[in-house]
Amino acid sequence: MEVVILKSADEVAIYAAKLVGVLLKSEPGAVLGLATGSTPQALYRRLVTNYRDGKISFKNVTSFNLDEYLGVAQDNPQSYRSYMNRELFDLIDIDKQNTFVPDCKDNENPREVGQRYEDRMRLAGGVDLQILGIGGNGHIGFNEPSSSLGSRTRVKTLTRQTLHDNSRLFTKDEFQPKLAMTMGIASIMAARKILLLATGAGKADAVVRMIEGPLTAMCPASILQMHEDATILLDEQAATQLQNRDYYDLAYLQNESLKERFGVFDAD
């Protein structure tokens, strides 16, 4: 696990966009795993800017989103499909036919939809780079605490904490879904590289449990300790509870100097 602590959320977005840029330069047809929520918004803004500046193209990219609400139509502004269109897809040159969200219509069997999503990811060659956020309770995707560490795409019931955390995004009259279809923990772990972004003081507790706590289904993000190429990008506020901070800073400096000498160098 590589832990990179930067000064601000802005720097986190810039660094993450740089990694996406490096990947797309060497693999223009890469498969991206994408997240929604507040955290990746700054990254998406940066990617859009880089696209407009002619530095990056998504023409041959395929993408798979982590999750989607159940019972919310795709054209509902609250759906994660709408979020992705608004924040990224409508603003870049990606072919929307190659963008996938695990949406499950009312008349569809969630098991079959989940299986289809897994098959589709496999057919695309698997995810090259998975972008993640982290919930205040340590969830990744909508894999809530106690989710099976071996899980695949399926329906999950959202915890009270997640419903509370996300209630800020719904008006009083809007329906807030309590169920979601989400990539499983094993589906996420199958990505060749993982980049988890966490910013703000509200994430500090989940971050220390993910990085320095025991590997446990009660903090699903702690599974990333087992991934062979996971980078955790934090701002100062999200890093305040880390005990091993000195080491992460030292390792970051060493890795950056290796990257300068030898080009991109993945250290975990």
Query: Active-site positions?
Result: 67, 137, 139, 144
Question: Closest approach of Cβ 72 to ligand F6R, in Å?
Answer: 13
Structure tokens at 254: 């060493």
Cβ proximity to ligand F6R: between 126 and 136 the closer is 136
- Residue 92: CB minimum distance to ligand F6R, A: 18
**Binding-site member from 6, 12, 31, 37 for ligand F6R (CB under 6 A):** 37
Q: How far apart are CA 196 and CA 70, in angstroms?
A: 24
Return all residues near 205 (Cβ < 8 A) that are at least 6 apart.
Answer: 136, 241
If one asks whether residue 140 binds ligand F6R (CB under 6 A), the answer comes out as: yes
The answer to the question of residue 66 lying near ligand F6R (CB under 6 A) is yes
Examine residue 67 and tell whether it contacts ligand F6R (CB under 6 A): yes
**CB 101 to ligand F6R: min, Å:** 10
Give the shortest CB-185-to-ligand F6R separation in angstroms. Answer: 12
> Nearest Cα to 135, choosing from 36, 47, 231?
36
Structure tokens at 8: 């601000």
Neighbouring C-beta atoms of residue 246, cutoff 10 Å? 9
Q: Does 231 bind ligand F6R (CB under 6 A)?
A: no
Q: With binding defined as CB under 6 A, does residue 151 bind ligand F6R?
A: no
Distance of CA 214 to CAs 9, 42, 220, 247, 258, Å? 27, 30, 11, 19, 30
Minimum distance from CB of 239 to ligand F6R (Å)? 16
Exposure of 54 by Cβ count < 10 A (0-12 exposed, 13-18 middle, 19+ buried)? exposed
- Residue 87 within binding range of ligand F6R, rule CB under 6 A: no
**Residue 133 binds to ligand F6R (criterion: CB under 6 A):** yes
CA separation for the pair 214, 98 (Å, rounded): 37
Nearer to ligand F6R, 38 or 176 (CB): 38
Cβ atoms of 136 and 187 within 8 Å: the answer is no
Tell me: does residue 102 bind ligand F6R (CB under 6 A): no
Residue 36 makes contact with ligand F6R by CB under 6 A: yes
The residues that touch ligand F6R, with contacts defined as CB under 6 A, are 35-39, 66-67, 133-135, 139-142
